[in-house]
Amino acid sequence: MNLPKKIACICGALVLIALIVLRSPSFFHIQKQISSKKGIEWLIKQQTVVGPEVGGLGYLLIYKVTPDTLIANRLSDLLTRKTSGVTHDTTIILEQDYTENALVSIESTAGDLLKEQCMGIDNTGQVDKLKNIFLLNKNDIQFAIPRSAGAMITILYFLKKIGISDEGLRDLAIAHLKQADIHYREDVYGLTHIMLTDSDFLDRYLDPADYRREIELFNAILTEFASKKTVTPSEVDMLSEVIVCLKLLGQDTNTLIPPISRKIIAMQNNDGSWDSNFATDPYHTTVVATLAIMDFTKNLRSTGGFCSPK
């Protein structure tokens, strides 16, 4: 065999070896670790940019699931400093027209009241006022379920956590989402909100036997996107939430997750962030993408939902 042919054979063999290594589970595991740590470092650097409320939630979710004790301790320290000495003065504005924007206002108000309770603040009067508003407008709120079922799941979670429970409305919203069109992105997000709220936002793993329909729909979504060469920023955000929920359901060995995770990693920016599907900032997408490619710890760190570590 002459020299050029030998060189060609050697180069071909090296390319084949490289392809095998790049596709090996061990290399993929290392790739996920590097990518997720870059995402976490970017998020930590943003603490003075996005503000304590938004930043705290991202840190809290990663704190709960990371298997890395050093990262967990860093995030716990950040969360403790963010809530230390913080006080709230939540003002509830009475709304008569419960449009979609007003529903978001209810979610924001209930979330603020929950954060106050996490800090030991007695806000019984404000909670009672919100409960009266909720009951007064319940029919209008129920009417909004078909177009806002996902948001409704989160709103009802916040309300329940502060003592305003309505399982009937939640059941209606869940029933709507289980008949979801998986090609409609908002319904996919709605499905993920069922698991996120049922787990108290990553406080605990869920029994997959209770979520067979959701797993079926999630697998259909991942199958659809596995055949695509690339994904868009908005698809990264949605697919990441789907993978997070599958992990909560003990489906982390699902063979559809690695090819989607590789596509998510390929979309990561050099600074560790992911581009956003929102018009404002890449924070949400970077949080959920980082969670999607992370290995979850066996024992999640429960904090009682939205409360910071004690």
**Residue 248: how many CB atoms within 10 A of its CB?**
24
Query: Do residues 305 and 114 make contact, with C-beta atoms less than 8 angstroms apart?
Result: yes
Question: Half-sphere exposure of 248 toward its Cβ, with a 13 Å CA cutoff?
Answer: 29
Going by the DSSP 8-state scheme, the letter that residue 119 receives in this structure is: T
Q: How many CB atoms lie within 10 A of CB 49?
A: 10
pTM check: above 0.75: yes
Which tokens belong to 211? Answer: 């979520």
In this prediction, residues 167-184 reach a mean pLDDT of 80
The per-residue pLDDT for range 1-46, each reduced to its tens digit, is 565 666 666 666 555 554 555 555 687 889 999 999 999 999 988 8
B/e letters for 281-303, b = 16+ CB within 10 Å, e = fewer, are ebbbbbbbbbbbbbebeeebbeb
295 alpha carbon, distance to own chain's centre: 14
Give the C-alpha separation, 83 to 61, whole Å: 16
Output the DSSP codes for 244-306: HHHHHTT-TT-TTHHHHHHHHHHTB-TTS-B--SSSS-SHHHHHHHHHHHSPPPSS----SSS
Q: So what's the pLDDT on residue 28?
A: 84
State the pLDDT confidence band at 104, using cuts at 50, 70 and 90: low
Q: Which DSSP state fits 49?
A: T
Tell me the per-residue pLDDT of 110-158, one tens digit each, with 9 for 90 and over: 888 888 888 888 888 888 888 888 887 777 777 777 777 888 888 889 9
Q: In whole angstroms, give the CA distance from residue 35 to residue 270.
A: 10
